[in-house]
Structure 1
Amino acid sequence: MSDPEHAPGSSKSEDSTHENKEEMPRDDGSSEVEVKHEAENSPIEAVRLAVPITDDPTLPVITFRFWLMSFIFTAIGAIITQYNYFRSTSASYSIFFVNLVTFSLGKFLGRVLPTKSVSVKGYTMSLNPGPFNIKEHALIGIAVNTGASAAYAVDILAATDLFLGYRISAIGSLLLIFTTQCVGYGMAGLLRRYIVYPAEMVWWGNLVQVVFYHTMHNTSEFKDMRLVFGWTRMKFFWVVAGIIFIYQFLPQWIGPILIYFDWLCWIRPFNRDFWAIFSTISGGGVFAFTFDWSTIGGTTLYYPLHSQLCTYAGQILNYWIILPIFWMYNVLGTKTIGRPLTSRLYYENGTLFPYKDFMNPDYSLNEEKYNAGPQANMAPLYALGFFSSFIALAGCCSHVAFFHGRHICGTWRSVIRSNKDDVHTKMMRIYPEVPHAWYAAFYVIMAALAIVTVEVYNLQLPWWGLLIALALGFALTLPIGVMNAVTGYGPGLNVITELVCGYMLPGKPIANMVFKCYGYMSMYQCTVLLQDLKLGHYMKIPPRMLFAAQFWGTVIGGLFNYMTQILVINSQRAVLNGTSQDPNGLWTGQRVLTYWGSGLIYGALGPARMFALNGKYGFVYAGFLIGIIVPGIQWLLSKRFPSVKWHLFNVSIFAGGMSSFPNGYSMGILSSLIVCLIFQFYLARYHRKWWDKYTFLLSAALDTGAAFTGLVLFLFLEGGASSKMVVKIPSWWGNYHTPQGDNAPFLGVDRCGAANDQWDVL
């Protein structure tokens, strides 16, 4: 049933009588009608400072320029992020890049496109309805943000293809991608009354975007701002992006040793202990450097200092301290397995566990055959990763409860009891709302298509299991959404979902991966969409147009995610499934292997067997207890010693750093820490004006240039577009290719470890 307060055509309340209309000058010399609320504003100070209480309902929003640019930049973003998913290093697809480029391109199209209209099946649209405007710009950003990501469902498609030899058909694959990405839409619409409309639901990350859009469209201020050498912001962006684009060919193609600058390995390059401790490709990467910007990443320039330090502290504890101890003392058989960091399963004597030998025709575990032989073991550092994940999940909830609980509860009570709408909610009433019935119908349709997908395409998950996954996601989205809106962070459901399914459907690895995907993504995608709904709320974008843009971005992104995954797997299959190694260490199946490894542990073998309390890995459940207790101790200490900022240490973020592997190699820690301290400690503290002026723009330019280097390499030099388009740099010390295409006598390009197990001794 639709909410009567926000139904299309509903009348305004008495509180909205303050609004009036004024003729406001525009940058192009014309005038625009702005609706202004003079007598009231948001009760949240940060929102008052960042979000204007003005609106121009006459601005065109969904235009030909929107369809064109949102398609182009969503497709590019989906390709780049999905491509980077299979790389050992990855650069993010910066939304700042999208905003900057679409601003210039939109202004250009506004000048050169003809004003004539085109008709498609009765729908008429002008190619150029007027100057490129702020709402049009923001809607492009929302569509791109929705679709330009690596679809979580691709993990399932890649894992079954690479490790089971089972490629789901194109239709089944696209259904899996679209349903997992879209089922959160219906949930978002039904929850918007509680997590979008209230003023207390700030969604802090949106405020930066609002300021960014209004700064760019305040033409006089934007054009008058001058940076180094008198450059405009746009010129600075493109110069920096061009420089890093050219530079990235050095580590990414010409000399990959600059990615894995493991200088301590050079002391004893053929010593196994040095390899395990100092190699970033296979070990802890202790004191290793990287000169690859994709590895460092632009977020090191502006993420809060305390959060980054918590992350690096967790990484250093796990990989520079715990890992060497586990290896040198063979704790839980770490050295026997032979690799300190791996998500594969092994027998106790260190030989690889061959899951296919214990597999039924439907890819489930043959329990009778498995129980007749020795049991599989995981690498101890991999089990420690689950332990850290449990700390992170419980610690996030506990930290929020202790340090923000009273505020959240007070906010929630005020939302439930209050009959007074936020000023921005009142201003949005002039636009037709998307009825609750539409969202509910969309949710039902997506859930029905999901049932068809799991039942038809041999995914092991019964229809009732899918409904449980969706119910779990729905039930936990409300509190997690409130946490995200009020505090800026919230826990994920990936660990809990696989744990629940592991007890519910043991012996079924594909079912576990699918259950995890639907349960986790229904919550995650819902919160992403809620955040975008709030951004549209702040930018005064008509809700129905916002709904269309989000769905459009998701469909485009999913299509290009799927096509990119197929291209990458077809061209790099041997490296991704572990049957061979990339001599340059640039391609890795580690992220897919991690997803598959979790599917084996929680799905095929089951948590009751793998994490038995009296077993080798029963300690992982202690993570829940630690995560709950530590924030409580901090809170008590904050009451006893209030001058100390105890809340700045977040055990959830710290544990997240500890569990960085197996989602990637343990590289770049030292380089990233140095960059973080330069920008977030030195420049932010002692040169604040410079930091404010350059940091976000510099970060966007660096990430953008690095991302496009990777894309060009993949498509035109590494065989992505065609197997005939492969160009290799001749062998030299920085890549050390032999005629056989390897790095013999070393294990990898990092010059650490001996090939063919020929080790020396200390």
Structure 2
Amino acid sequence: MDNEKKDSVIVTASDAVIDDFEGDEKQKLAEMRKHIEEIVLTETKENSDILDSRYSEFIISKISEMTAEEAMRILSEAVEYHKDDFNFPQESYEKIKVLLGGIEASGLEADIYDLELRVEASMIKHHSPYPEVRAVTDPVDDPNVPVETIRVYILGSIWVAIGAFINEMFDKRQPSLSLDSTVIQLLVYPCGRLCQYILPDWGFTFRGTRHSLNPGPWTYKEQMLVTVMVNVGANWSNFVSYAITMKLERFFNQQWVGFGFIFIMNFSTQFFGFGLAGLLRRWVVYPTKAMWPTILPTLALNRALLMPEKKQNIHGWTITRYKFFFYLFIGSFIYFWIPSVLFSALSIFNWITWISPTNVKLAIITGSFLGLGYNPITTFDWAVINYSKPLVVPFFSVANRYVGVLLGGILLMGCYWTNIRWTSYLPINTSSVYANDGTKYNISKVLNEDNTFNRTKYMEYSPPYITMGNLMNNAAGFALYTAVPFYILITEWNVIKEACVGFYKGIRSRNRGSAFGDFDDPMTRMMKVYPEVPDWWFMIILLLSLVLGIVGVAAFPTTTPVWSIIIIQIMGVAMMIPTAIVYSITGYQLGMHDLAVILAGYMVPQNGMANMMCRVYGYNVDDRAENYIADQKMAHYSKVPPRSIFRAQLWASLIQTFITIGAIQFLMDTVPDFCSLSQKNKFVCTFPNSLYADSLLYGVVGPVRTFNQTYPTLKYAFLIGPLAMIPFIILRKWGGNKFKYVHPVLILSGVQKWGTTYNLSYYTPGLYIGFAFMWYIRRYYLTWWTKYNYILTSGLTAGVAFSGILIFCSITISQSEINWWGNTVNSAGVDGARVATLHQLTEGETFGLKPGEYY
């Protein structure tokens, strides 16, 4: 039998068809059919009845159509493209290299070698090289499935409003809780199903297309579009945190900050991020390497809810994803009451400090509140364990960042014990700013009535001093600002260059309109049937939002020059490409906003408000824009039309702009002692406190005084950053795969995690969980991991979020308490008081620079 006929039989043959052949030919066909099933099952990470699905038949047909020559070409290109790809499975990479070595090198029979070669090539060409992505996406698409329906906008608007209000409130809590997309997906699904049964088939026809209230069954794409709306709109808004810092009496006490100003700036920053995100699609949405691991649980949950699933036996597990999610959700919902209400010591499990509660040194090293958190068992609370997203981001990311946190903590400890720059007179790891008598810095003592710097008052009072943790945070952050663009431009130069050329062509030729033509991966090929959103649409939104922001800055007493805002914007756009590339590959978002603080300190010296206004755009670049991009990638994986995503994101952002303002006003009006580090219900406002500290240090006092007088060595961190990258670049270029998973940017970003109210105790449990699931189980039980891992994190997170909301509404607001040892032991000692220092000041004693040493 010739090869063409044999391939046809292998692809289409049932056992009955194979029975038509006889003897050795029949046995050979059956063996090859079985082998190809095993290969496809392994590559798709599914089990049992997969070959009866549309998915498997598509893949097998492509295997049959592919020639050996084409397969060799595809695999050769893949080996080159993925040679330094952290997410590409190492075992698959080595297997491909063996296959490229030829039949003799593979040790396989000719027929089996040919099949193996074509299977590997087909999976890459027609689906995805990453098992994580193959687990939550399809290699086929049906453009006729309803997507942008009326009921999508109705449900999306409702849940955006609910999610935005709740998330804005709980973002100010530590640890924060959120009604994230995994939770809202669960709520949207029954609403969508209900709509398909109760809504009438009323509609209208527009431009040849009928739009109905009820076009039929609730679809997977409708679910995804609502999820994208919620993911964009039901997020906390960055500018309202700035509004808190501006308005509250404990911060800048600017009572003129009201609805009008907050709305203009909130609107401007939100839509500036949206416009910028659209322009960056060529760099971080369409490239295959831009895997975006953080969005995969969302895709997995939607598939569990809407995609039919056959009962399978995977390592003894037969439970469906749907049931598995709900069992986890219920269990997590019930259990969270224990560490949150009934036995809170299990949440912040600083058990080592219980040995000697008044021992300051023990609290500083092992404490979870005050200290560094060097403790092997720090929590039994999923809200704390999940802080580093250990079941979402790749384990190499978790491990690299943990190494950075660990090493940074050791360095921090050594500097603190030697009293570098008088830090031993202060707590070791907070973002607060202090005067030279150890009290919180009172900004009003060095300001004029117009909130500008008064040098005479400053000389009479004190320079601002920050903790050792905050110094570590600043030093690592400064190093990152120069290290990231240096490292990424060298290691990802080809990707950046090709995207820049494509962007220029797209802007130059408006009628060309689409970036899809520059990419030929499977996902993009499927998306080419839909009209793309032209780059100039996003450019218009970006420019309009910038103009509105400038109007807001100029119309209100912000004391901020317009030119300073424009410069910050240019800087932010330039930094966005390398940081977004890191985020899309590793799953970690790098905070690059502090660079705006320093530049503003030089451009508009001695002005805390101007410093805040410049920073808001610097922060927006590396936060809001990356969130929009991630959702565009999620739509890309789901084959949701680009223009549907464009309209949905715009509408969701508009709703969120209004709702978040109301939420933050509610908090400021109703929560006593709001944003205090000792706030009873943990509404400590980590980010607003950090904003205030940085604005004092680099805005009011200014970087000149900070770098030249108080902390003169800090400025050298900008030089250390790129210098530290050089050895890693050399290792990556000449060390081969031995050093593939060592990522210096992630290690440095781990060092930067100090100086907030978080410490090692929030990262250690994530390392354990990440190793167990994202390395060991993924490596040795890949079929189970692919089916259940993302459902596991979704179920646990959803249960915690729902439980946290109920606890807040029933227990927290009523200020009810359960007073017993399990709820007081972790806060009864020095660690719980959060004020202990290594060196104590006597009454009237001060530390730091003497009068005359600062000006």
TM-score range, shorter chain: 0.7 to 0.9
Alignment partner, residue 60 of structure 1: 146
Counterpart amino acid of residue 157 in structure 2 = F
Amino acid at match of 2:212: S
For residues 25-64 of structure 1, what are the structure 2 equivalents within 5 Å? 45=124, 48-49=127-128, 50=134, 54-64=140-150
Correspondence for 1:637 among 719, 727, 731: 731
Q: 1:550-594 CA deviation, whole Å, 9 max, x = no partner? A: 01221233333222222333333415135xx2457x332333211
The Cα of 1:347 is off from its aligned counterpart by: 3.0
**Preserved contact between residue 431 and residue 543 of structure 1 (Cα < 8 Å):** yes
Structure 1 residues not aligned, in runs of 5+: 1-33, 720-725
The share of aligned pairs that are identical, in percent, is 26
Counterpart residue type for residue 422 of structure 2: G
- What residue is the counterpart of 1:704 in the other structure? 798
Q: Say if 2:619 is the partner of 1:520.
A: yes
**AA in 1 matched with 2:353:** C
TM alignment of 1:632-671, pairs within 5 A: 632-642=726-736, 644-645=738-739, 647-666=740-759, 667-671=761-765
In structure 1, what is the equivalent of residue 768 of structure 2?
674
Would you say the 8 A contact 1:262–1:750 is kept in 2?
no
C-alpha distance 63-670 of structure 1, shift in aligned 2 (>3 A): same
> What is the CA–CA distance in structure 1 between the aligned matches of 2:592 and 2:624, rounded to whole Å?
12
Q: Is the 8 A contact 1:153 1:176 kept in 2?
A: yes
Partner residue of 1:294? 383
Cα displacement (A) at 1:87: 1.7
1:620 paired with 2:714, answer yes
- Partner letter of residue 441 of structure 2? F
2:705 counterpart of 1:609: yes
Give, in angstroms, the shift of residue 117 of structure 1: 4.1
CA spacing shift, 1:297–1:113, aligned 2, 3 Å: same
- Return the offset for 1:206: 8.7
Once the 2 structures are TM-superposed, how far is the Cα of residue 511 of structure 1 from its aligned partner? 1.6
Offset at 1:77?
3.3
Determine the C-alpha separation between the residues in 1 that align with 2:379 and 2:182.
Answer: 25
**Partners of 1:512 and 1:603 within 8 A in 2:** yes
Distance 2:262 2:499 in 1: 42
Pick closer, same or farther for the CA change 1:252–1:458 going to 2, 3 Å.
farther
Whether 2:212 is the aligned partner of 1:133: answer no
- Greater displacement, 424-433 / 665-674: 424-433
Q: Which residue of 1 aligns with 2:640?
A: 541
Paired letter, 1:336: Y
- Distance change (3 Å), C-alpha of 1:673 and 1:425: closer
Q: Which residue of 1 aligns with 2:368?
A: 280
Trace 1:376-415 onto structure 2 (pairs within 5 A): 376-406=464-494, 408-409=496-497
- Checking the alignment, whether the CA contact within 8 Å between 2:430 and 2:756 is kept in structure 1 is no
Deviation at 1:598, TM superposition (A): 0.9
Q: Aligned-pair distance for 1:640?
A: 4.9
The aligned runs of 1:208-607 (5 Å cut-off) are 208=296, 212=300, 215-216=303-304, 219-221=307-309, 230-287=318-375, 289-297=378-386, 299-319=389-409, 321-337=410-426, 339-406=427-494, 408-409=496-497, 421-422=518-519, 431=530, 434=533, 438-478=537-577, 480=579, 492-522=591-621, 524-578=623-677, 581-582=678-679, 586-607=682-703
**Distance between the aligned counterparts of 1:53 and 1:691, measured in 2?**
20
Secondary structure of the structure 2 residue equivalent to 1:399:
helix
Deviation at 1:409, TM superposition (A): 4.1
Larger radius of gyration: 2
Tell me the CA shift for residue 517 of structure 1: 1.3
Amino acid at match of 2:568: A
- Structure 2 residue runs of 5 or longer lacking an equivalent are 1-57, 79-123, 129-133, 506-514, 843-855
Q: 1:476 to 1:748 in 2, by over 3 A?
A: closer
CA distance in 2 between counterparts of 1:153 and 1:315 reads: 28
The answer to whether the Cα contact below 8 Å between 1:391 and 1:651 also exists between their aligned partners in 2 is no
Aligned in 2, Cα 1:642/1:46: closer, same or farther, shift over 3 Å? same
Contact 1:157 1:173 in 2 (8 A): yes
Alpha-carbon offset, residue 653 of structure 1: 1.3
Write the deviation string for residues 682-702 of structure 1: whole angstroms up to 9, x where unpaired. 323333333222211010111
For residues 30-55 of structure 1, give each alpha carbon's deviation from its aligned partner in whole angstroms, at most 9, with x where no partner exists: xxxx9xx9999999837733565654
2:789 alignment counterpart: 695
Q: 2:246 aligns with which of 143, 160, 163?
A: 160
Q: Which one of 264, 274, 279 corresponds to residue 175 of structure 1?
A: 264
CA shift in 2, pair 1:669/1:77, >3 Å: same
| Partner Cα separation in structure 2 for residue 488 and residue 748 of structure 1 | 32
Cα drift, residue 153 of structure 1: 0.8
Question: Which SS does the other structure have where 1:297 is aligned?
Answer: helix
Q: Which residue of 1 aligns with 2:232?
A: 146
Distance 1:266 1:323, change over 3 A: farther
Distance in 1 separating the partners of 2:819 and 2:723 = 55
Distance 2:263 2:452 in 1: 24
Work out whether residues 106 and 132 of structure 1, in 8 Å CA contact, stay in contact via their aligned partners in 2. Answer: yes
Letter in 2 for 1:541: V
8 A Cα contact 1:227 1:233, kept in partner: no
Residues 480 and 335 (structure 1 numbering): CA distance in 2 closer, same or farther, change over 3 Å?
Answer: closer
The separation in 2 between residues aligned to 1:673 and 1:381, in whole angstroms, is 21
Q: Once the 2 structures are TM-superposed, how far is the Cα of residue 125 of structure 1 from its aligned partner?
A: 5.2
Amino acid of the structure 1 residue aligned with 2:757: G
CA RMSD of aligned residues (A): 3.9
Instruction: Report the CA distance shift for 1:282/1:356 in structure 2 as closer, same or farther (over 3 A).
Output: same
How far did residue 505 of structure 1 move? 0.7
Q: 1:242 to 1:576 in 2, by over 3 A?
A: same
CA distance in 2, matches of 1:241, 1:327: 43
Give the drift of 1:295: 0.8
Distance 2:622 2:404 in 1: 26
Q: Pick which of 520-529 and 628-637 moved more.
A: 520-529
Whole-angstrom distance in 1 between the partners of 2:606 and 2:501: 44
In the alignment, what sits opposite 2:168?
A: 82
Find the aligned partners of 1:311 and 1:474 in 2 and give their Cα distance: 25
Which residue does the alignment assign to 2:50?
A: none
Who is 1:106 aligned against? 192
Q: Distance in 2 between matches of 1:676 and 1:175?
A: 42
Partner Cα separation in structure 1 for residue 726 and residue 714 of structure 2: 20
- Aligned-residue offset at 1:479: 5.5
Find the aligned partners of 1:406 and 1:206 in 2 and give their Cα distance: 25
- Equivalence map 1:737-752=2 (5 Å): 746=829
More deviation in 427-436 or 449-458?
427-436
CA apart distance, 1:70? 1.7
Letter in structure 1 aligned against 2:657? G
Indicate the SS of the match to 2:824: coil
CA distance in structure 1 between the aligned counterparts of 2:526 and 2:783, rounded to whole angstroms = 35
Match of 2:4 in 1: none
Displacement of 1:648:
1.8
Contact 2:312 2:318 in 1 (8 A): no
Higher alpha-carbon deviation: 477-486 or 660-669: 477-486
What is the number of equivalent residue pairs in this alignment?
700
- Aligned CA distance change for structure 1 residues 300 and 80 (closer, same or farther; 3 Å): farther
- The answer to whether the 8 A contact 1:248-1:706 is kept is yes
2:700 aligned partner, one-letter code: A
Q: Is the 8 A contact 2:432 2:466 kept in 1?
A: yes
Q: TM-score, normalised by structure 1?
A: 0.81
